[in-house]
Amino acid sequence: MDTINVTRADQGEYWLVGTDVTTIKASGRDTSGKLLVLDVTVPPGGGPPVLHRHPFAETFRFLQGEFELSTVDADLNELSTVRATAGDTVSIPSMVWHNFKNVGSAAGKFIAIHSPAVMEAFVREIGLRIDDPQNPPEPGGPTLDEEWRRMMEIIQKYMEVLPPDKVPR
């Protein structure tokens, strides 16, 4: 691209990723593949289902809500958590085990910045494109085993998942 790109406050590509409304604000196309900028709205209790890591760095800038971020040391000996609220920034280097969960009673929001823009393909592959981020479709009933396997296959193409039996207590 040979010009700047402006995405207005009410613009972007809207995706439902699990239960999270994820808006692509700056895609890899806009940043020479170097960055991906997402607005993410997470309902209470929402967030990724498992601890994971990936070969790209990411930074979260929390705008509202209360989140708990979990991590495991490199030797998988110790699980630790930290709370993050509006105004906090959390940086996650590449290949660090992590996860987040909205532990508040209302929807939480954050900006996610990924470098490089690898997660864009993940959002497009696993997500459901939606038109109205203010009124996303309700997630279906319990995830069927087949759908869960499909989602895990997609997840594992982009990141490594820590099996639950490996998570220290």
Question: Could you write out the three-class secondary structure of 77-134?
Answer: CCEEEEEEECCCEEEECCCCCEEEEECCCCCEEEEEEEECCCHHHHHHHHCEECCCCC
**pLDDT per position as a tens digit, 75-108:** 889 999 999 999 999 999 999 999 999 999 999 9
What pTM value is reported for the model? 0.92
CATH homologous superfamily of 13-136+150-159 equals Jelly Rolls (2.60.120.10)
Domain locations along the chain: 13-136+150-159
**pLDDT per position as a tens digit, 111-168:** 999 999 999 999 999 999 999 999 998 766 556 677 778 888 999 999 999 998 899 9
